[in-house]
Structure 1
Amino acid sequence: MEAVHVGILSIIPPVIAIALALITKEVVFSLLLGIMSGTIIYSIAAGMGFVGIFSVTADLMISKVSDNASMVIFLAMLGALVAVITRAGGSRAYGNWASRKLKTRRSAAAATGLLGILIFVDDYFNCLTVGTVMKPVTDRHHLSREKLAFIIDATAAPVCIIAPISSWAASVISYYPGEGTMGGMQAFISSIPMNLYAVLMIFMVFWMALRKNGDFGPMARAQRLAEERGDAHFEDSNTIDNELTKLKVAEKGKVWDLVVPVVFLVIFAVLSMLYYGGYWDGEGKSLFDAFGDTDAGYALSLGGFGALFVAFFLFVPRKLMTFREFFATVTAGVKSMVPALIILALAWTISGVCRDLLSTGPYVAGVVERSNLPVAFIPAIMFVIAAFLSFATGTSWGTFGILIPITVAVCEIVAPHLSVITLSSVLAGSVFGDHCSPISDTTILSSTGAGCDHIAHVETQIPYALTVAAVCFVGYIIAGFTAVLGFGVSVAITTPVSLAMLIAALLVLPKIMPGKPKTA
């Protein structure tokens, strides 16, 4: 299927999907309507008949699911692993142990954030692993599932985008043009200090985790309800837990029944990433090159199979469950992932509608190129463009591919002193959209990993993300004007001022947005 150029009509599908998801709370229905609107526009523009609408939709969906088949397998394996660990009593035993070590809700939230930072290699891996490990602990301290999902999401993409050894770093470098004054790796590392969204969001995670009564807006309401109910989530939420609550939990489970499978999951996944990246091919590849060349989906799938294999020999011989019960539990775990997999398949499809059919990215990029931007405002405006594009399409990597080459080319010509700052702003804006868009895969996986209703996660997280984004916008204006003093001086001015603005906002917002209960 050859892409068509339909101008402003190209943004209709994501607008429909996002608006309807937030209004109706029905994310599957909203994504389907967004996809259908896009394929209708494409079919009309391409001169196809009525039947073409359905054939294009089916072909695109099959293509996108096929492209991500290894990730589907990994998610199914992870659902199975979570289920067998739960049935073996590992989650309950770990929760009991961690509750004795982490005695307060704030310490549990901070520990979750710290674990999220430590797992920086891949955002998918981060979202689901952190949720699996920390959910029993945060539940015991009545930390709302919405708050847990926020912490997971905010330490996934924002951490990966400032980690030189990660799948995200490899993606950025692959999109960086070969020509210019610096190479891709040097540009990526140079961009880290000025990646305001990532730096400020990580700061916000620990501020919110450690500060008493620091929440505001819908998150404050969700946390208050969790404390009043003595439960972390609504019983009717459409979450992974609904299937797993039916499992009979073994009484003899130990802490290592959770720790050992998760540790082997990490080990197998990392070793598989190195293997698929050609680290042991005898070509002298560095660790970074291997991570950059790997197929994360295949590696994570292999890691999931390996961890499930270890779990079998850890649980069945000790009679925590029988052979038959183990595989019945595996089936239940895979079933628990079906709602998330449906949403992911639709999110991948609507991303394909925007990128492969309607050329949404090139349209937005063309608007940027045709505008006469004041030089000092280029970083701030590129931040907004990247944020809008990634939020609308649900993909930061797609936004990287569209905007990084444009950014480098424009800055090399009109403002070389802004090259690194503008690259940072594009990366920051792209992460914003990936972090909070309801059609972003990492947003979906964060709500899945936390066992939180997806739209509830989106609604509670957006005010936090917008707060940081607003500070970033002002910060990049400051950076644009101070860049003439040198990059180091600009960082020294911009980062502290931005941090001070964020702290001021976080002190004021809980007072003006206390998160009042919804009226009937």
Structure 2
Amino acid sequence: MMIISYADSALSVLPPVVAITLAILTRKVLLSLGVGIIFGALLLTDFSLLSSGEYIATTVSQLVWKDAALNSWNVYILGFLIVLGMITALITVSGSARAFADWAKLRIRNKRDAKLMTMFLGCVVFIDDYFNSLVVGSISRPITDRYHVSRAKLAYILDSTAAPICVISPVSSWGAYIIALIGGILTAHGFADTGHLSVFIQMIPMNFYALISLLLLLCVATFSLDVGPLRQHELNALRGDLFDESKGQPPGATADLPEADTGKVIGLFLPIAILVFATVYFMVSSGADALASSELPFSVLGAFENTDVSSSLFFGSIVGFIATVVLAIKQKVAWSMLLQGMRVGALSMLPAVYILLFAWTIAGVIGELETGKYMASLATDNIPFALLPAGLFLLAGVTAFSTGTSWGTFGIMLPIAADMAMGSDSTMMLPMLAAVLSGAVFGDHCSPISDTTILSSTGASCHHIDHVVTQLPYALIAATISLVGYTVLGYTASLVAGLISCAVLFVLSVVILHFWAKK
């Protein structure tokens, strides 16, 4: 089977564009991804039906079994999803979720407090974006449901804390990955003695999109700046319709489960706390093992840099699952209810599993088409140097949107940004690298095929396309402000000037949103 290269062709962009456009127009995610996969396979095999079928079958099988071994990353992530679904359902049937809602009712006084609590938890749980979206969603959903916060709003809160927090946190899977990439880039350009962690910290205030997204979310949650499609979802939630029931049950839904009367708040907090600590332990442990095998000295940052995220999430969830079962038994929950909870919890995650499998498949097709490389090559065309930070922000956004991956965009675009800076003005290297990080998170936020976006929908138990469409206006507002900020930064070479321009536009945007939301 011969695969045709499209590394230098605009045709490489067509399959993800087709999939994303169909997803938004039809709101049928699996159908749209399937069409994109088939179209991409046809392009790669010169429109040979037999070869296309063979290619798709091979690509799908490699999601589970690759290079004569288990594809552990994918399998562990899927296992983590299923186990977390069972934990969530068990917390529900044990009555602990209802007990927590009753407990919080005395402390969470209103809808705004429920939203701010969710945002606070999202900022605290920063070790990994998958973990953030799913765990914080499980904790917050009983409270946000009680105060009639729509599932779309909850998904927006989860998504707008997960990636933006992780991309500016050095002690996270994202931070470690970025520091490793930046370290290699700096070494390649003769800056081997530069502290990689200190460089990462210097770049935090330059990551305009992440910072603005968090500030905008804070204002939206505090002042109910609900505009566009999200406004209608919030109005529906006030009538008791937390999600669009005409589309069926969303991923992660466990609404039909019975609830025991013996539930206690500790039945929710303790399993989640054990899950968090176990996951952190396995992340540090697997990273330490990797350092030891490479004969490198142990450090916490080094451990996070070399950790196996997927296995840590899975084994951490197993420990959390055992703790949940033990606590449920101590609360005298009947075995029949426990078994029903496990079954319903596992089944509730199947829609998310299906979407992830399709998203990973199209990601493989996009990788073969070398869509990311083509998008990155556009950056080398005649762009004035002062516009490069803004141009890189936009290009990273389009690349992440088309490929559905922030990390892949980091890997492709960061070395290009560094090379362009070194070829023109090395003092602009950090702002240009930060522009890539910022743009990649923006594109990831907007993309229906992004796994982070998919898992935020799952954590909120929200229909996926509803989340994408309702988050889009806010992502575009934050991106527009960031784009202006990077343009000012490029022309003035001043971070302060860039931040001031962002601050002025941010305040103006919030005022406009306030009047828009009150109409």
Per the shorter chain, which TM-score range? over 0.9
Question: Which of residues 338, 362, 368 in structure 1 aligns to 2:373?
Answer: 362
Deviation sequence 1:342-386 (CA, Å, 0-9, x none): 00111111111111x1011111122221x1211111000000000
Q: Could you tell me how far apart the structure 2 residues matched to 1:366 and 1:336 are?
A: 42
Contact 1:139 1:231 in 2 (8 A): no
Q: Deviations over 1:149-181 (max 9, x none)?
A: 000000000100000111111222333322223
* Residue 216 of structure 1, CA deviation: 1.2
Q: For 1:76-475, what aligned pairs fall within 5 Å after superposition?
A: 76-176=82-182, 177=185, 178-180=187-189, 181=191, 182=194, 184-211=196-223, 213-227=224-238, 229-240=239-250, 244-278=254-288, 281=292, 284-322=297-335, 324-355=336-367, 357-369=368-380, 371-475=381-485
CA distance in 1: counterparts of 2:382 and 2:517, whole angstroms: 38
SS at match of 1:402: helix
3-state secondary structure, aligned to 1:161: helix
Give the residue type in structure 2 aligned to 1:196: F
Residue identity opposite 1:5 in structure 2: Y
- Structure 1 range deviating more: 242-251 or 414-423: 242-251
The answer to whether the 8 Å contact 1:340/1:444 transfers is yes
Opposite residue 472 of structure 1, the aligned amino acid is S
What CA distance in whole angstroms lies between the structure 2 residues aligned with 1:326 and 1:365? 51
Q: Distance in 2 between matches of 1:333 and 1:512?
A: 40
Aligned to 1:50: 49
Q: Give a deviation string over 1:54-83, Cα, whole Å, max 9, x none.
A: 111121122234341110000010001001
Alignment CA distance shift 1:62-1:186 (3 Å): farther
User: Contact 1:216 / 1:510 at 8 angstroms: preserved in 2?
Assistant: no
Aligned residue among 474, 480, 496 for 2:490: 480
Contact in 1 for aligned 2:251/2:349 (Cα 8 Å): no
In structure 1, distance between residues paired with 2:63 and 2:271: 30
Structure 2 unmatched ranges of 5 or more:
65-70
Contact 2:251 2:458 in 1 (8 A): no
Q: CA deviation at 1:31?
A: 0.4
CA deviations on 1:293-318 (whole Å, 9 max, x unpaired) are 11111001001110111111111243
Say whether residues 1:40 and 2:14 are aligned partners: no
Q: Give the AA of the match of 1:87.
A: V
Q: Secondary structure at the match of 1:156?
A: helix
Cα deviation per residue 1:212-265 (whole Å; 9 max; x = unaligned)? x422111112112211x1342233444457852221110111111111111111
2:251–2:457 CA contact under 8 A, matched in 1 = no
User: 1:220–1:514: 8 Å Cα contact kept in structure 2?
Assistant: no
CA contact (8 A) 1:432 1:469 kept: yes
Q: Which runs of 5+ in 1 are unaligned?
A: 484-489, 516-520
Q: Which amino acid aligns with 1:501?
A: L
> Does the Cα contact within 8 Å between 1:217 and 1:510 map onto a contact in 2?
no
Quote the Cα distance in structure 2 between the aligned partners of 1:512 and 1:315: 47
Structure 2 vs 1, CA of residues 16 and 514 (structure 1 numbering), >3 Å: closer, same or farther? farther
1:70 equivalent in structure 2 = 76
Deviation at 1:512, TM superposition (A): 4.5
Distance in 1, Cα, partners of 2:251 & 2:25: 25
The corresponding residue for 2:67 is none
So what's the TM-score if we normalise by structure 1?
Answer: 0.93
Moved more, 241-250 or 313-322: 241-250
Question: RMSD in angstroms over aligned alpha carbons?
Answer: 1.8
SS of residue matched to 2:288:
coil
Q: For residues 154 and 288 of structure 2, what CA distance do their matches in structure 1 show? A: 36
Cα-to-partner distance string for 1:127-170 (whole Å, 9 max, x where unaligned): 00110000101111111111110000000001000001111112
3-state SS, counterpart of residue 106 of structure 2: helix
Residue 508 (1) aligns with residue 512 (2): yes
Q: Percent identity?
A: 38
- Aligned-pair CA distance for 1:406: 0.6
Q: 1:2, 1:266 → 2: CA distance?
A: 43
Of 79-88 and 214-223, deviating more is 214-223
Moved more, 153-162 or 66-75: 66-75
**2:420 aligned counterpart, secondary structure:** helix
SS in 2 for 1:397: helix
How many corresponding residue pairs?
501
Label 1:175 to 1:312 Cα distance change in 2 as closer, same or farther (>3 A).
Answer: same
8 Å CA contact 1:3, 1:359 repeated in 2: no
Q: Give the drift of 1:186.
A: 3.6
Distance 1:283 1:41 in 2: 45
Q: Distance in 2 between matches of 1:311 and 1:88?
A: 9
User: 1:4 corresponds to which residue?
Assistant: 5
Name the residue aligned to 1:518: none
Question: In the alignment, is the contact (CA less than 8 A) between 1:217 and 1:514 conserved in 2?
Answer: no
1:313 maps to amino acid:
V
Name the TM-score, length of structure 2 as normaliser. 0.93
Q: Secondary structure at the match of 2:40?
A: helix
CA distance in 2, matches of 1:187, 1:234: 45
Q: Does 1:496 align with 2:500?
A: yes
Question: In the alignment, residue 367 of structure 1 is paired with which amino acid?
Answer: L
After superposition, the Cα gap between the structure-2 partners of 1:59 and 1:205, relative to the gap in structure 1 and judged at 3 Å, is same
Contact 1:14 1:34 in 2 (8 A): yes
SS of alignment partner, residue 62 of structure 2: helix
Pair 1:111–1:513, CA change in 2 (3 A): closer
